[in-house]
C-alpha cells in the first residue's frame, strides 16, 4: 500500500500538506525579535535619515562655489557659525558662504555638498579656503536616501538576523509583529527507555531522543515540550499523542527500535483519522523507518528509535517542515569545503548521510568519515558535520571535494 519515498518526494509532500499553516502572531519588543519570523511586511514610517546628513567632518557649501578651486587658486568662502552634531538647522546657506558640519551633522537647508576638512585651510580670518572642488551630493546623504517613509524595510516571512534588527532600529520600529513560535511536542516510546536521571533497572537504555530533539527544536526557534517516556502500550501512546496534538503544532514520536513498537506508532497515528499518514518509509540512510502524517491539520512524525537515525530525519525533514509551516523563503545553505580522506562506497539506492570528523591540514581540510559499528549518538561527538551522498552516486572516493554541512 505504501512505497518508500525519496527525499525530494517527501519534501514536496510536506510543502503540499503544510504550507499556509497559521500559528498566529504576536508583538515582541525589538530586543526580543532575534531569530523570530516577521508576520507581515514591515513599513518605515519616517525618512531615514530625516535630514540631509554629512558623511565627513568638513564644510557645507554650494558645490557651484567650489568649481575650479585648487591649492593654487582656492575658493574663498565666508565662514558661518559651526553647526553642532544633533542640532536642527533651519537656516539656508547663501552663496559664497560655508559652515562647519561634523560627520553625521545636518547641512543647512540648501547646501548641496560637503568639502572635507583636509581640503580646506582656515587662516582665522573669517574665511575658509577650499582647495578642491566638489560636485553636488558629494559627502552627503540626503533625507530619505537610506529608506523613504512608507517603503517596506523587511518583508513578511523573514527570519530576523542582527542586521535586520539594526534596520528596524534605524527606522524607529520598537516592536515587531512576528509569527508565534511553533509548539513542538516530543514523545519517547519504548519499554526499554529510561530517563537520564533514573537508576537503570533491567536492560534499559537512556532516553536520548527527547534531549537531542529538544535541543534541535530550540535551535530551530520552536518552543519544545517534552511529554516524557511512554511505555509500549497502544492506549498510553494514544492518550499522550492526543494531548500533544491539542497543545502543539507538530508532534514528534520517537519509536522504540523493534518492529512491534514501530507498528504500534503507525496504528496510533492511523487512529486519528484523515488525511493521516502520507509518508511510510524514506529512502534514506540512516533513517528509513519514518512515518509522516497530517492529523487535525497538524504534523506528526514517527521517528526511528535509533538516536542517530532520528536526528538525521530531524535535520533533514523536521527542520524542513519548520520552514514550510513558517512560510520561510528559500535559504542558501552554508557548508565547509573539504576533501574526503577515505573511499566510502554507497550504492544501495538510498540517499546517504555520513558524519565526518574534520582535520585542518596545511593545504586543505580533510574529512574523515566517522564509522561506528553501533552508530550510536556518542560517535557523533567528534563529528563536525556530515556529507550527503545522493541517491544516484556510488559513494565518494578519497581526495574528492565534498560539502560538509555543519551540525
Interface residue with a second copy, options 185, 302, 369, 385 (CB under 8 A): 385
Dihedral of alpha carbons 10, 288, 375, 256, sign: positive
Rg, the chain, Cα only: 31
Interface residue with a second copy, options 68, 81, 334, 392 (CB under 8 A): 334
| Shortest CB 149 distance to a second copy, Å | 12
Q: Closest CB to a second copy among 272 and 311?
A: 311
- Helix, strand, or coil (residue 288): coil
**Nearest Cα to 42, choosing from 136, 143, 169?**
169
Q: Is 27 in the site for a second copy (CB under 8 A)?
A: no
| Shortest CB 72 distance to a second copy, Å | 27
CA pair distance 180, 266, nearest whole angstrom? 30
The residues pairing with 303 across neighbouring beta strands, listed in sequence order, are 254
User: Binding to a second copy (CB under 8 A): which residues in 237-266?
Assistant: 256-261
Q: Name the segment binding a second copy (CB under 8 A); options: 9-17, 60-68, 123-131, 380-388.
A: 380-388
Q: Closest CB to a second copy among 56 and 295?
A: 56
Q: Is the backbone peptide bond immediately before 163 cis, with ω within 30 degrees of 0?
A: no
Q: Is 232 in the site for a second copy (CB under 8 A)?
A: yes
Report whether 117 contacts 58 (CB < 8 A): yes
| Shortest CB 24 distance to a second copy, Å | 24
| Shortest CB 276 distance to a second copy, Å | 26
Q: Is 406 in the site for a second copy (CB under 8 A)?
A: yes
Report whether 254 contacts 291 (CB < 8 A): no
Q: Closest CB to a second copy among 267 and 364?
A: 364
What's the gap between Cα 34 and its chain centre? 10
| Shortest CB 131 distance to a second copy, Å | 19
| Shortest CB 47 distance to a second copy, Å | 10
Interface residue with a second copy, options 79, 116, 328, 336 (CB under 8 A): 336
| Length of the chain, in residues | 407
User: Binding to a second copy (CB under 8 A): which residues in 99-128?
Assistant: 102-106
User: Binding to a second copy (CB under 8 A): which residues in 165-224?
Assistant: 165-174, 190-193, 196-197, 200-216, 218-219
Interface residue with a second copy, options 78, 161, 239, 267 (CB under 8 A): 161
**CB count, 10 Å around CB of 73?**
9
Q: Is 384 in the site for a second copy (CB under 8 A)?
A: yes
Q: Is 364 in the site for a second copy (CB under 8 A)?
A: no
Q: Is 351 in the site for a second copy (CB under 8 A)?
A: no
Q: Closest CB to a second copy among 44 and 295?
A: 44
Q: Name the segment binding a second copy (CB under 8 A); options: 2-10, 66-74, 267-275, 371-379.
A: 371-379
Q: Which residues contact 130 (CB under 8 A, 6 or more apart)?
A: 59, 61, 65, 66, 69, 74, 75, 76, 77, 98, 115, 119, 120
CA pair distance 143, 183, nearest whole angstrom? 43
CA pair distance 132, 67, nearest whole angstrom? 8
Q: Which residues contact 305 (CB under 8 A, 6 or more apart)?
A: 189, 190, 209, 254, 255, 256, 257, 261
> What is the DSSP code string of 70-82?
-SSS-EEEEEEPP
Total of residues contacting a second copy (CB under 8 A):
107
| Shortest CB 48 distance to a second copy, Å | 6
Q: Is the backbone peptide bond immediately before 227 cis, with ω within 30 degrees of 0?
A: no
User: Binding to a second copy (CB under 8 A): which residues in 39-98?
Assistant: 46, 48-51, 53, 55, 57, 84-89
Q: Is 146 in the site for a second copy (CB under 8 A)?
A: yes
- For residue 246 the three cell numbers come to 491539542
**Nearest Cα to 264, choosing from 238, 227, 229?**
238
Q: Closest CB to a second copy among 90 and 274?
A: 90
DSSP state of 224: E
User: Binding to a second copy (CB under 8 A): which residues in 266-325?
Assistant: 305, 307, 311
Q: Is 329 in the site for a second copy (CB under 8 A)?
A: no
Amino acid at each position: 500500500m505504501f512505497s518508500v519515498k525519496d527525499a525530494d518526494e517527501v519534501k514536496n509532500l510536506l510543502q503540499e500538506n503544510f504550507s499556509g499553516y497559521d500559528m498566529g502572531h504576536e508583538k515582541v519588543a525589538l530586543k526580543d525579535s532575534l531569530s523570530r519570523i516577521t508576520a507581515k511586511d514591515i513599513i518605515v514610517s519616517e525618512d531615514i535619515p530625516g535630514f540631509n546628513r554629512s558623511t565627513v567632518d568638513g564644510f557645507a557649501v554650494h558645490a557651484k562655489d567650489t568649481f575650479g578651486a585648487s591649492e593654487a587658486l582656492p575658493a574663498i568662502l565666508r565662514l558661518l557659525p559651526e553647526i553642532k552634531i544633533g542640532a536642527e538647522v533651519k537656516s539656508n546657506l547663501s552663496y559664497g558662504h560655508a559652515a562647519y558640519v561634523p560627520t553625521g551633522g545636518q547641512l543647512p537647508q540648501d547646501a548641496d555638498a560637503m568639502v572635507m576638512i583636509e581640503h580646506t585651510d582656515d587662516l582665522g580670518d573669517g574665511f575658509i579656503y577650499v582647495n578642491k572642488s566638489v560636485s553636488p551630493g558629494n559627502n552627503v546623504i540626503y533625507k530619505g536616501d537610506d529608506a523613504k517613509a512608507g517603503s517596506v524595510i523587511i518583508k513578511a516571512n523573514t527570519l530576523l538576523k542582527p542586521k535586520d534588527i539594526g534596520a528596524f532600529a534605524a527606522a524607529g520600529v520598537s516592536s515587531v509583529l512576528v509569527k508565534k513560535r511553533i509548539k513542538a511536542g516530543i514523545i519517547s516510546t519504548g519499554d526499554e527507555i529510561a530517563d537520564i536521571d533514573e537508576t537503570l533497572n533491567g536492560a534499559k537504555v537512556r532516553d536520548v531522543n527527547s534531549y537531542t530533539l529538544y535541543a534541535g527544536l530550540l535551535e530551530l526557534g520552536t518552543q519544545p515540550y517534552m511529554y516524557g517516556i511512554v511505555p509500549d502500550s497502544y492506549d498510553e501512546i494514544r492518550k499522550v499523542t492526543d494531548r500533544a496534538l491539542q497543545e502543539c503544532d507538530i508532534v514528534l514520536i520517537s519509536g522504540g527500535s523493534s518492529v512491534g513498537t514501530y507498528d504500534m506508532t503507525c496504528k496510533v497515528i492511523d487512529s486519528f483519522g484523515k488525511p493521516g499518514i502520507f509518508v511510510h518509509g524514506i529512502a534514506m540512510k540512516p533513517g528509513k523507518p519514518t512515518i509522516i502524517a497530517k492529523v487535525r491539520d497538524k504534523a506528526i512524525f514517527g521517528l526511528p528509535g535509533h538516536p542517530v537515525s532520528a536526528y538525521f530525519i530531524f535535520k533533514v525533514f523536521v527542520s524542513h517542515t519548520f520552514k514550510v509551516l513558517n512560510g520561510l523563503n528559500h535559504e542558501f545553505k552554508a557548508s565547509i569545503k573539504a576533501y574526503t580522506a577515505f573511499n566510502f562506497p554507497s550504492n544501495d539506492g538510498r540517499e546517504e548521510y555520513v558524519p565526518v570528523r574534520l582535520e585542518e591540514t596545511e593545504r586543505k581540510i580533510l574529512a574523515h568519515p566517522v564509522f561506528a559499528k553501533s552508530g550510536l549518538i556518542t560517535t557523533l561527538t567528534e563529528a563536525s558535520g556530515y556529507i550527503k551522498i545522493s541517491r544516484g552516486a556510488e559513494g565518494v572516493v578519497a581526495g574528492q571535494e565534498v560539502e560538509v554541512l555543519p551540525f
